[in-house]
Amino acid sequence: MFGGIVTHPPLRGVRILELGGYVSGPYGTSLLAALGADVVKIERPGTGDDFRRQQDDQSLYFKQYNAGKRSLALDLKHPAGVRILKDLLPQFDVLLENMRPGKLSALGLDPQECMARNPDLIYVSVSGFGEGGPLSERPAYDTIGQAFGGLYSVLGDEDRPQLSGALFGDLVTGLTTGMGILAALVGRKAGTGGQLVQTSILEAVSTMTIDNYTQYLDTGRSSPTRQSRHPQAQNFCVRASSGQYVAIHLSSSQKFWRGLATALGRAELIDDPRFADYDARTRHYFELTPIVQAEIVKRTADDWERILTENDVPFTQVLDMETWSHHPQTEWLELLEPERDGVSLVRPPWRFNGQRPNRDSRAPRVGEDTIAVVQSVRTPEQIAELADSGVLFVATSETVGA
């Protein structure tokens, strides 16, 4: 076991204003919050982020992407709300938004105006297709990004694209957004000042399909599918006698090929002309697959755990989410926070000096931190008046933590 939880988060002192909903922006800032950043989430008065799903801070999905943040409920459709946001800008390092292109500009919150208020501000804009071009005005969620970016094609069978079972588009956008923010923060420290950082779901998904695009260039096939890569990767997902599946990935290594053939009890395959080297196995991959399956199904997954390990073959049993979450390796890595209030938060995928950043397990209620954030730019009397008029929404002491 490594050295526990990070006690000096690397982003301590960084302040981020988030005008983000759902996942693509909030996931990125949730990682930065776990690294120590103070993230203030600006939400609609009353209902807040749509991902709260009318459950306020009890939505498991909202918790996963927003725990550890603070909530400022502010009506940006009202000029007084916009003025409050502008007055807060000098106190923050980053402003992130993932609205449709032009929406913030129409409110007088375009990059130029915001950076005039704070020349060192990093203004981060996340969109569906980018801020220009023929599709820029279209609404875009995860499905749209995956479909347009090619994931549904490369994860489907030939002539049969299909939905995927994961939120690939939004999550990779959150990762790339976080990376862009970190790069801009490093650049600012080096003297670049404030920057406009722009990305989109389409751009982020391209980082996941880069290998498939290279396949297209290499083979001339316009539509690589989920099976196109298998011969190149020399990988297999096959069923053991116990019902579990075993995944194997040989790549181009002759060592691993010899180890697999030996583990299968089929040493004669090592020098079989169809499989003797990587190029031959690539050409005859679909002949090799049923041979591997026929041998794997003769033993249990636990048997193969021992045999494949002894022969140093790259493999794993195929886990579901429940098994993964309780696996000793996952526990050793301390990837998950202890479960509280029905949710176990996933920690950031890094360790610093052997220590894992933890996550504040509590998500804010809508407007829970409105007063704490706004009191630096408005008097108590002004806050009370703005709350009465609906420009600000303040969670009452009776509802906080209820």
Q: Write out the H or E segment, with its range, that includes residue 74.
A: strand 70-74
Written in H, E and C, the secondary structure of 82-100 is: HHHHHHHHHHCCEEEECCC
8 Å CB contact between 49 and 78: no
For 119-128, b/e burial (b = at least 16 CB within 10 A) is eebbbbbbbb
- Which residues pair with residue 159 across a beta bridge? none
Q: CA dihedral defined by 203, 18, 360, 166, rounded to 10 degrees?
A: -30
Q: Cα(289)–Cα(234) distance, rounded to whole angstroms?
A: 9
Catalytic residue among 49, 75, 170, 369: 170
Q: Which residues contact 46 (CB under 8 A, 6 or more apart)?
A: 73, 366, 393
Q: What is the rounded radius of gyration, in angstroms, for the C-alpha atoms of the chain?
A: 25
Q: Cα(75)–Cα(45) distance, rounded to whole angstroms?
A: 6
* DSSP structure class, residue 118: -
Q: Which amino acid belongs to residue 349?
A: P
Number of other residues whose CB lies within 10 A of the CB of residue 132: 11
Q: Which amino acid belongs to residue 152?
A: Y
8 Å CB contact between 146 and 118: no
> Looking at the chain, how many residues does it have?
402
Active site residue 170: yes
Number of other residues whose CB lies within 10 A of the CB of residue 379: 10
Spacing of C-alpha 367 from chain mean position = 25
Cα distances from 366 to residues 230, 290, 392, in angstroms, run 47, 55, 11
Q: Which residues are catalytic?
A: 170
